[in-house]
Amino acid sequence: MKVTKPFFLVNLFLSFCRLMPKGDVHDVSSSRAFMAGGGDSVQVAPHDLAIIVGAIGLVGALAISMFATLYIPPTDFGESTSTHEVRTLTLLGSNDDVVIDATPLCDTNETCEITFIRLIDDEGNEMTSVTTIEAAEDGSFSTSIPASNGGDVTLEISGQGSWELVVTAQRQIPIQFLPPMFALFLLVWGVWRKLQEGPEDADIEEIVESA
């Protein structure tokens, strides 16, 4: 069974809520941890675990957003008009849009033209199409196509010449920000909870203050 990332994050959050200490802020946990061999394991405070998980999750989310951008090689439609499947996206609902940024790569004596853009669902049925495109002086353009429903959709473009295409999904619900927000929450809560702890050894603090 495939476990989605939001479901995993919800379970992780609920686990931390059950582990959060109650009462005195110096209490870590009322239960003792035992090893499989019979000995006691080192107890780890929930807020220390939250700092580790939050820091790793936040760094990982930032790294993915910076280096995991999908690259689409330049699309060559040829000298005559042809149709290409440019990209397949997964949309969550009918409020999501597909944004296309296109830049022609043709020389002055070549023809670069986009004549038709459409979205088709996973069953091959046409969802939305665009036939009128307003291009800039250099031939580049940007357009947004609304999706009539969610699921897997395929973008088809008909045109001539060579084009550099950037296709993104503009989501009504930005789920891509949920993992870094959850990781940031864990990190901030863990650091705040760590600052609530008193000194581990009062005798050492008295010696330092009296010196």
Per the structure, how many domains does the chain have? 1
- Separation CA 56–CA 45 (nearest Å): 17
Q: Is residue 120 part of a domain?
A: yes
Residue 123's φ and ψ, nearest 5 degrees, are -95, 0
Assign 60 to helix, strand or coil.
helix
CA R_g for the chain: 27
CA trace torsion 60, 65, 68, 69 (10° rounding): 180
Assign 90 to helix, strand or coil.
strand
| Residue 116 β-bridge partners | 158
Q: Is residue 60 part of a domain?
A: no
164 within 8 A of 105, measured Cβ to Cβ: yes
Tell me the pLDDT of the chain (211 aa) as tens digits: 444 555 555 565 566 555 554 444 444 444 444 445 555 556 778 888 888 888 998 888 777 766 655 667 888 888 888 988 888 887 766 577 888 899 998 887 788 889 889 988 888 888 888 888 888 888 889 888 887 776 788 889 999 999 998 888 777 666 667 788 888 999 999 899 888 876 555 555 555 566 5
Q: Is residue 144 part of a domain?
A: yes
Q: Is residue 82 part of a domain?
A: yes
Q: Is residue 104 part of a domain?
A: yes
153 within 8 A of 121, measured Cβ to Cβ: yes
Per-residue pLDDT tens over the stretch 98-116: 888 999 988 877 888 898 8
CATH number at residue 119: 2.60.120
Please give the residue range of the domain that contains residue 114: 75-170
Q: Is residue 207 part of a domain?
A: no
Q: Is residue 152 part of a domain?
A: yes
- Separation CA 192–CA 166 (nearest Å): 42
- Separation CA 50–CA 98 (nearest Å): 36
Q: Is residue 179 part of a domain?
A: no
